[in-house]
Amino acid sequence: MKAACYSPEGRPVIRYFLANSSIGVISAAVARFNQNTPLLRFLKRTQIDLAVVTAGLQTIFRFGDFSARIRAGSQAEYSGDLKNITIFKTPYFGGGMNYGVQTSHDDGLLRVAAISALNRWSTLALIPALYRGIILRHSAASFFSATDLTIESPTPGLVIEADGEMIGRLPCRYTILPRRLTLVL
């Protein structure tokens, strides 16, 4: 997959990734996990899963919602407040979390899961559903597929992560690169 976005300094950048990309509470949690604070440094050395949970909980209680405008190919445009949006080709991420969606690595489609604006406690309550693969049953969750996707937001400071790496800032255009990589399964 290809993401055309902007560096923190405002320069256009193009990044490629294989599995998934997130904007919102998940990308903010990845950014927090990647920080080298004394607590996270200690937890990463002793219990990595606890470091992940700590970074996630800290983020949920600090991260609000964000406004976004989303265009998916020739489909209708969506505007509204979100907690998170994930673009993916593989349903699993972050140590077993998943969206419960069948995917195909060579169908030419991006899978997109969006979580509408939620308060902190409701966001926290969704975590078990994310691990059980049933999060899309929640009324705040939506899902669709697209061949390309553009996401814009007036909310400052939103970071984009792809495959666990911080790749840039919005606006971002995602496209699929069909049959560019041969996978051996």
Q: Where do the domains of the chain lie, and which CATH numbers do they carry?
A: 2-175 (2.60.200.40)
Q: Which residue has the higher pLDDT, 56 or 185?
A: 56
Q: Which residue has the higher pLDDT, 38 or 178?
A: 38
Question: Quick one: angle between helices 48-62 and 38-46, nearest 10?
Answer: 140
- 183, pLDDT greater than 60: no
pLDDT per position as a tens digit, 17-68 = 999 999 999 999 999 999 889 999 999 999 988 898 899 999 999 999 999 9
Tell me how far apart the alpha carbons of residues 126 and 121 are, in angstroms, rounded to a whole number.
9
pLDDT band for position 138 (50/70/90)? very high
Q: Is residue 82 within a helix (H) or strand (E), and if so which, with residue range? A: strand 77-88
Please report the pLDDT score of residue 161 as a whole number: 96
Please report the pLDDT score of residue 115 as a whole number: 95
Tell me how far apart the alpha carbons of residues 122 and 139 are, in angstroms, rounded to a whole number.
11
Give the Å distances, CA to CA, from 98 to 38, 102, 128.
30, 10, 10
Residue 142, token pair as written in the block: 């939506």
pTM of the model: 0.89
Please report the pLDDT score of residue 180 as a whole number: 60
Please report the pLDDT score of residue 53 as a whole number: 87
pLDDT per position as a tens digit, 58-73 = 999 999 999 999 999 8
Which whole number is the average pLDDT over 127-156?
93
pLDDT band for position 184 (50/70/90)? low
Question: Rounded mean pLDDT of the chain?
Answer: 90
